[in-house]
Amino acid sequence: MIKTKFDYDYYLRKNTLPHIWCPGCGDGIILKALLRAIHKCGYSKDEVVITSGIGCASRLPGYVDFNTIHTTHGRALTFAIGIKMYKPRLKVITISGDGDALAIGGNHFIHAARRNIDMTLIVFNNYTYGMTGGQYSPTQPLDSYSTTTPFGNIESPFDVCNLAQAAGATWVGRSTSYHAVQLEKFMVNALSHTGFSVLDVITNCHISYGRRNKMKSPVDMVKYQKEKAVPARSAENMSNEELMGRFKTGILFEKTDKPEFSSEYYKKLESIKIK
Amino acid sequence: MSDRIEFRFSGSGGQGLILAGIILADAAAIYENKNAVQTQSYGPEARGGSSKSEVIISDKPIEYPKATKVDYMVSLTQESFNKYINDVNDNGIVIADKELVTDLSKAKGKLFAIDMVKSAREELGKLLGLNIIALGVLVELSGVVSHESIEKALMKRVPKGFEDYNKKALEIGFRLGKEIKNNK
Amino acid sequence: MSKDIKLMQGNEAIAEGAVIAGCDFFAGYPITPSSEVAEILSNKLPKLGKVFLQMEDEIAALGAVLGAALGGAKAITASSGPGISLKQEHIGYASMCEIPCVIINVMRGGPSTGLPTLPAQSDIMQARWGTHGDHAIIAITPSGVNESLYETIRAFNLAVKYRTPVMLLTDEIIGHMREKVVIPSKDELEIIDVKLPDVPAEKYNPYNFTSGKVTPLAPMGEGYRYHVTGLIHGETGFPSQKIDVIQNAENWLIDKIYKNIKDIEKFEEFMLEDAEILIVAYGSTSRSARQAIMMARAAGIKVGMFRPITIWPFPEEQILNLSKKIKKILVPEMNMGQVILEVQRNSCGAKVYGLNIVNGEPITPDQIFSKIKDVSQL
């Protein structure tokens, strides 16, 4: 599939750089992994559409040379569904933060999964609303602190992957911005999958999250990712106590026999179309 | 014909009154090239409650689309009879089913209580088509459209296999209408 | 050739108009009294090889419409009351990013859940000002079923031509009533289609704030890669916080509509030549007004009507000119006083009276006639 030598510059809109992300942020690592993955998949720049919502992660599309849509808060998947259904030949990728995808956009998340529409959602999961100053998000761990949980979080967080699988997504995986090589591999996998694929990427916001949770520096946070990540296979032999405070990584779920929405739709059209 | 003739079908949701109104409007607008406007009002219930369907027919453009001085009203429930009879014209004609509307104390205009349900039961074997009987009665009484036009409009909207059944219902309506005319 | 005439419901006429206009895409969410638009298009569009989607909520519906429109689709959504409130953020997004789309609002009584199956005209100001921030919008108020069909087609044309959301404001009466419609053949209509830009991809900017011309929106996936954002952006589409860029961008959103008002405006004048009382009425209320005018004329009162068909941008110039000649203006509307504010703002030296009835029934000719008599005595 790879036609040319990979070159970041080919995919970046260099006139829009520097990006807005803080030094030490994990989002840049995910961006680079995404570009490498797209290159490996051999997609042309014209056939890729990237939609995003609002938040730090959602600024990504502005920096990359594809058809890019920076939409409204939480609604990136709805735009993605619209363009995918109208032009199913396009490769549609949605970038969303944890608050964007699972709080304000939670409804669209579960329904995109239910439909099993052929798109990839990459959740930049840093447990916080970084852009608005570090409020708690629906993935923030119990007992951790934020600007709106000054006494510790008592709300149970969502597990992005469990939610995606339960709602009907047919490819579900998790990696971190620390595991950059694995991340790229999973992205290739997710993008190549036919159906709705969700990749949960644990990433670091030391400014808004780490600082308030004894992980002041990017290094602290990267260490956290390295130490808390448990490969799914290893997790099988671990007790619940051992898994407390940690997260599984790997391709956690894959299903290939569930009908995909856009192709089912056009198949249906063939049978009812006025000839 | 007069500038504006107002029809009202009233009863409960599920009796097919809106369809009856549409067929009448269609017969007038499409097959007789008159102006016709059909409206309805209903509550939140899909079945039951009071509902009405109105048709205005005129040779001139129809502006206000709802009935205000009803010339012909048919009523297939007591509740709708009580609720919708108020704005019947003094010379208006009101047709109520003998079995379904028993309390006629609120009567207005010229009232005729007739056997639509009974005829349906005896001649059609079921109550399906009561709306079409009512339609036949109003067409016969008003003469607003020809038998031919209403039959064409009816056939356009009848599911396959039910053409004869509905034609029969319409004929029953014509006959009941004629009986009223003869007894007037 | 004999004309194709059909008895149709207002909502059906909108669906029919959308199909004639070349609509490629519908996304919606069930809500009364607009649901028939969705139901009918769910049957028509797939047969034409086009897309119908019922989304998970109202917000998603307009999001999907805008996504499809960015792909080059002629796209439409339909809703009412609460649904239109929910769509407001995406209406602003469509304005800001200049994405063509048609939004049907079959108005019902409000606020909140209000009167789901009863009519009102209470979303006129919402149509203009509902979303946050400065912007302009086109809104159209047809008065009947036939006009619903033709104005839906015009709404698509204006949306594509000016790259803007266009709202069609009907109401429960028009949406649900049936009357005769003359179905046009395609060759007797002007249909504005989505086109590729006439510059090569490397020279394409998705926006142009200064030339006065609306840049065509290149369908995504055809080689014109660009960025779309709801942030204030420059002509390249990328966000900007430069003061001159911001001002130009804001000016443009207003100017592209208001400087083209002659092309966008549409209205009807009825018996105005000798009128001593002017009625300004729109939508279903204008039907009653017309009947009331005939009643008043028969009683010797000289009344005429100005009926905006394009309600936004508001026909400011026409109201100003009429108000110089006619010194009494009556504005009947099924709300507590919305268009009357625009009439007052734009008229000069005339007394403006309102007739505001919001009881779930259309305003009757008798009610307007009686108000005309009152006004004629004042």
d(CA B129, CA B169): 6
Domains identified in chain B, total number: 1
Hey, is C169 helix, strand or coil?
strand
Query: Are residues A82 and C68 in contact, defined by beta-carbon separation less than 8 angstroms?
Result: yes
Class of domain A8-235+242-272: alpha beta
Of B35, B36, B42, the CB nearest to C117: B42
CA-nearest residue of chain A to C58? A78
Structure tokens at B100: 């379904």
How many cross-chain Cβ pairs, A to C, lie less than 8 Å apart? 140
Q: Do B63 and C178 touch (CB under 8 A)?
A: no
Helices (H), B28-162: 78-84, 116-119, 130-142, 147-156
Q: Do C117 and B63 touch (CB under 8 A)?
A: no
Contact residues on chain A for C69, CB-CB shorter than 8 A: 82
By a Cβ cutoff of 8 Å, what residues of chain B touch chain C? 22, 25-26, 29-30, 35-44, 62-66, 68
A189 in contact with C, Cβ within 8 Å: no
Q: Do C27 and A70 touch (CB under 8 A)?
A: no
A264 in contact with C, Cβ within 8 Å: no
Contact residues on chain C for A89, CB-CB shorter than 8 A: 221
CA-nearest residue of chain B to C287? B63
d(CA C152, CA C135): 22
d(CA A124, CA A117): 20
Of A46, A111, A273, the CB nearest to C56: A111
- CA dist list (Å): C325 to B159, C277, C304: 58, 10, 12
Q: Do A85 and C51 touch (CB under 8 A)?
A: yes
Q: Taking the CA atoms of chain C, what radius of gyration do you get in angstroms?
A: 21
Structure tokens at A144: 């951790």
Nearest C-alpha of chain C: how many angstroms from B36?
Answer: 6
d(CA B63, CA B56): 10
Q: Do C7 and B29 touch (CB under 8 A)?
A: yes
Q: What is the pLDDT of residues C266-295, one digit of tens each?
A: 999 999 999 999 999 999 999 999 999 999
- Please report, for the domain that includes residue B112, its CATH number: 3.40.920.10
- DSSP code per residue over C240-288: ---HHHHHHHHHHHHHHHHTTHHHH--EEEES-TT-SEEEE--HHHHHH
- Tell me, what's the pLDDT at B45? 64
- Tell me, what's the pLDDT at C1? 43
d(CA C114, CA C343): 27
C133 in contact with A, Cβ within 8 Å: no
CA A251 from centre of chain: 14
Contact residues on chain A for C220, CB-CB shorter than 8 A: 49, 67, 69, 83, 87, 90
Per-residue pLDDT of chain A (275 residues; tens, 9 = 90+): 455 799 999 999 999 999 999 999 999 999 999 999 999 999 999 999 999 999 999 999 999 999 999 999 999 999 999 999 999 999 999 999 999 999 999 999 999 999 999 999 999 999 999 999 999 999 999 999 999 999 999 999 999 999 999 999 999 999 999 999 999 999 999 999 999 999 999 999 999 999 999 999 999 999 999 999 999 999 999 999 999 999 999 999 999 999 999 999 999 999 998 76
CA A218 from centre of chain: 20
Best mutation target among C24, C66, C196, C227 (most A Cβ atoms within 10 Å) is C227
Assign residue C22 a region: left if phi > 0, alpha if psi is -120 to 50, beta otherwise? left
- Tell me, what's the pLDDT at B46? 64
Q: Do C55 and A269 touch (CB under 8 A)?
A: no
Q: Do A83 and C70 touch (CB under 8 A)?
A: yes
Residues C25, C31, C36, C39, Cα dihedral to 10°: 50
Nearest C-alpha of chain B: how many angstroms from C195?
Answer: 39
Query: Residue A123 carries which DSSP code?
Result: E
Low-confidence ranges of chain B (pLDDT < 70): 1-2, 42-46, 184
Nearest C-alpha of chain C: how many angstroms from B34?
Answer: 9
Low-confidence ranges of chain C (pLDDT < 50): 1
Contact residues on chain A for C227, CB-CB shorter than 8 A: 13, 16, 61-62, 68-70
| Alpha carbon distance, N-terminus to C-terminus of chain B | 21
Q: Do C7 and B26 touch (CB under 8 A)?
A: yes
Contact residues on chain A for C61, CB-CB shorter than 8 A: 78
d(CA B56, CA A35): 66
Nearest C-alpha of chain A: how many angstroms from C75?
Answer: 10
Contact residues on chain C for A67, CB-CB shorter than 8 A: 70, 220-221, 225-226
Hey, is B122 helix, strand or coil?
helix
d(CA A175, CA A200): 6
- CA dist list (Å): B30 to B23, B24, B27, B139: 10, 10, 6, 16
Per residue in C289-320, is it b (16+ CB within 10 Å) or e — as a string? bbbbbbbbbeeebbbbbbbbbbbbbbbbebbe
Residues 30-49 of chain A whose Cβ lies under 8 A from any Cβ of chain C:
45-47, 49
Query: Are residues C146 and C179 in contact, defined by beta-carbon separation less than 8 angstroms?
Result: yes
CA-nearest residue of chain B to C284? B64
Contact partners of C by the rule of 3+ C-beta pairs under 8 A? A, B
Contact residues on chain C for A16, CB-CB shorter than 8 A: 227, 238
Q: Do A62 and C24 touch (CB under 8 A)?
A: no
Q: Give the residue numbers spanning the domain of B21.
A: 5-183
CA-nearest residue of chain C to A59? C229
CA-nearest residue of chain A to C25? A86
Structure tokens at A234: 């290893």
Domain residue ranges of chain A, discontinuous segments joined by +? 8-235+242-272
Of B35, B37, B42, the CB nearest to C177: B37
Q: Do C177 and B64 touch (CB under 8 A)?
A: no
Domains of chain C: 4-188 (3.40.50.970), 269-377 (3.40.50.920)
